[in-house]
């Protein structure tokens, strides 16, 4: 199981709606273990750095505004095949396309304010986890 990690953030819309507890319950219920967790608030600059890969996309500025608009909860999660398993649990980017029972189908309000982030590859999971947590904070 070593190396099977993914990184997630409960996004500002879900945090401010009071859905963090329900979302964490679903995550643990699906067999993920929390290796690191913190509540924080991103500056626009930090959000911009985190989503740098999207900087040419038309929604980039809005995304950075939105991700810095309120607190988030960042977590590193472990499970076998964590990245794919977690993408399945959260559902499609657009909640209108997300499968029934997925976190985004249940809690997202729009394609932008879609409740939760999930890493898209093992490599990005490591990069994103390192963006928020030191090795000592992950156990």
Q: Which residues bind ligand IDP (CB under 6 A)?
A: 54, 59, 63, 93, 111-112, 114, 117, 120
Nearest CA to 14 among 62, 63, 72?
Answer: 72
Q: CB–CB of 14/114 below 8 Å?
A: no
- Catalytic: 54? no
Minimum CB separation from Mg ion for residue 130, in Å? 17
Q: What are the CA-CA distances from residue 125 to residues 3, 28, 80, 101, 131 (Å)? A: 10, 18, 14, 24, 10
Tokens of 100: 């029934």
Smallest gap from Cβ 2 to Mg ion, in A, equals: 24
Q: Which does 131 bind (CB under 5 to 8 A by kind): Mg ion, ligand IDP, none?
A: none
Cα dihedral sign, 106-99-117-88: positive
**Minimal distance in Å, beta carbon 78 to ligand IDP?**
20
**Shorter beta-carbon distance to Mg ion: residue 112 or 120:** 120
Which residue out of 117, 118, 129, 133 is catalytically annotated? 117
- Residue 22: name its binding partner from Mg ion, ligand IDP, none (Cβ under 5 to 8 Å by kind): none
Interface positions with Mg ion (CB under 5 A) = 120
| Nearest residue (beta carbon) to ligand IDP | 93
Q: Which residues pair with 106 in a beta bridge?
A: none
Residues 62 and 12: their CA atoms lie apart, in Å, by 13
């Amino acid at each position: 199981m070593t190396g099977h990690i993914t990184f997630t953030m409960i996004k500002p819309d879900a945090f401010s709606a009071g859905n963090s507890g329900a979302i964490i319950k679903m995550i643990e219920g699906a067999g993920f273990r929390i290796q690191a967790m913190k509540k924080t608030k991103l500056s626009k600059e930090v959000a911009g750095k985190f989503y740098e890969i999207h900087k040419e996309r038309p929604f980039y500025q809005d995304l950075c505004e939105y991700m810095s608009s309120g607190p988030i909860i960042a977590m590193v999660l472990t499970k076998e095949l964590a990245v794919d398993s977690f993408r399945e649990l959260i559902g499609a980017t657009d909640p209108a396309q997300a499968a029934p029972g997925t976190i985004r189908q249940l809690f997202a309000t729009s394609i932008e304010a879609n409740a939760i982030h999930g890493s898209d590859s093992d490599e990005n999971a490591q990069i994103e986890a390192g963006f928020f947590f030191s090795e000592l904070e992950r156990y």
